[in-house]
Structure 1
Amino acid sequence: MKRRLLILTAAISSALAMSGCSTPKVSDYAAQKPVLELRDYFNGTLDAYGIFTDRSGQVVKRFTVVMECSWQGDQGVLDELFSYSDGSTQRRVWRLQRLADGRFTGQADDVVGTAQGQQSGNAFHWTYTLALPVDGRVIEVQFDDWMYLMTDKVMLNKAAMRKWGVSLGEVTLSFVKR
C-alpha cells in the first residue's frame, strides 16, 4: 500500500512539475528587432545551409537549399531545391497565404493538410505535418518550426521533429538572402 501511494505521489508531482513548464509563444518575441516581415524576407533568392540531428544530437545529414521566392499580394510561392550530403536532391514548393494578425497558412505536395504559422517581432512559428520517405515507405512527421530574423540578410531556423509525441530529432538551418 505504501509503495502504491509513493508511486501515485511521484506521478502527481511529476505531472504538476511538467505543467509548470511552458512553451514559448510567438508573441513573446513581439518587441524583438529586426522586425520580420515574411513577404519581404522570403522574396527573391535565398541560400540555406542545414543539418538534421537525431534525438541523441548526432548529425545524420547535411544539406543546402536554394530558394526562389515571390509574392503576389498576400499569396507567396517558396520554391525550394534541396541538395543533401549523400548526393540526393529534393524539391518542395510552398504556397503561402497571408492572413490577418501576422498569421499564415501554407501547403506543399508533401505537407499533410495545411501548415499554420504566425509572425511577431523577429520570430515566425510554423507547425505542420510532413510526409517523409524513410526506408522505402512514407511516414507522417510533425514539425514545430521556429525562425528568427537576425539581420536583414540572415535568419536562423530550428525545427523539432516528432512522431506520436516522440522526438525524432531536429533540423537547424541558416538562411542567407542574396
Structure 2
Amino acid sequence: MNHYFSLKSLAILTSTFLLLACSGPNVKQYANEKPVLDLSEYFSGTIDAYGIFTDRSGEVKKRFTVLINADWKVVDGKKVGILDESFDYSDGSKQKRIWTLIEQSPGKYIGRADDVVGDAQGDLAGNALNWTYTLALPVDGTIYHVQFNDWMYLVSPKVMLNKAKMSKFGIELGEVTLSFYKR
C-alpha cells in the first residue's frame, strides 16, 4: 500500500511540475491594456534601448545600449518592417542585427534576422508583444542555439519595457532586460 501511495504521489507531483513549467502568461490577457501597441508605429524612426543580461542567479553579466533605426512599408499587401539594431556592450564589443518583421495577420508577426534560426513568432494584443525564437548565440568561439521567450510591454507612447528569458533544452540560462525609448 505504501509503495502504491509513493508512486501515486510522485506521479501527481511530476504532473503538477510539468503543468507549472508549461504555464505562463498568454498575450490575449493583455488585450484591453492601454496604450495599445502598434509595432509599425512604435518601431519607426529612431529608438534607443538600454539593457542588461543577467545569468540564472541574477548576476549582471553584461550591460549594453542599442540604437535602432526602423522603417515600415507595405509589400504585397502586408506591413514589412526593417529594424536595424546596433549594439554597444560594456566590454567594448559591438554587434549588428537587422530584423525583418512581417505582419501575417492582425496581431500575428514573423521576424527574421541573420542570427535567428528559422522564423521568430510574434503575438500581439493590447500593449503586449510576445516573441519566441531561437538565436544562434556566439560564446567564446562556439555558437549555441538558445531559445528566447521575449515579452515587450508598451508603458507610454515613448517607453516600452522588455524582458526575455533565455533557455536551452528547457533549462533557464538567464534573462535580458531592456528599456526602449522612442525619440
The two structures have a TM-score, normalised by structure 2, of 0.92
**2:113 matched residue in structure 1:** 108
- Aligned counterpart in structure 1 of residue 131 of structure 2, from 112, 126, 133: 126
CA RMSD of aligned residues (A): 1.4
Identity %: 57
| 3-state secondary structure, aligned to 1:11 | helix
Aligned partners of 1:18 and 1:101: how far apart in 2?
34
Deviation (angstroms), 1:5: 3.7
| 3-state secondary structure, aligned to 2:11 | helix
Map 1:126-165 → 2, pairs under 5 A: 126-165=131-170
Deviation (angstroms), 1:6: 5.0
Classify 1:20/1:135 alpha carbon distance in 2 versus 1 (closer, same or farther; 3 Å). closer
| 3-state secondary structure, aligned to 1:97 | strand
1:18 aligns with 2:23: no
Question: Which residue identity lines up with residue 171 of structure 2 in the other structure?
Answer: V
Deviation (angstroms), 1:171: 0.3
The two structures have a TM-score, normalised by structure 1, of 0.95
| 3-state secondary structure, aligned to 2:65 | strand
Aligned partners of 2:170 and 2:68: how far apart in 1?
30
**1:76 matched residue in structure 2:** 81
Deviation (angstroms), 1:80: 0.3
Q: List gaps (5 residues or longer) in structure 2.
A: none
For residues 115-159 of structure 1, give each alpha carbon's deviation from its aligned partner in whole angstroms, at most 9, with x where no partner exists. 000110000000000000011110000000000000000000000
Deviation (angstroms), 1:10: 3.2
**2:92 matched residue in structure 1:** 87
Classify 1:13/1:63 alpha carbon distance in 2 versus 1 (closer, same or farther; 3 Å). same
Count the aligned residue pairs: 177
Classify 1:56/1:7 alpha carbon distance in 2 versus 1 (closer, same or farther; 3 Å). farther
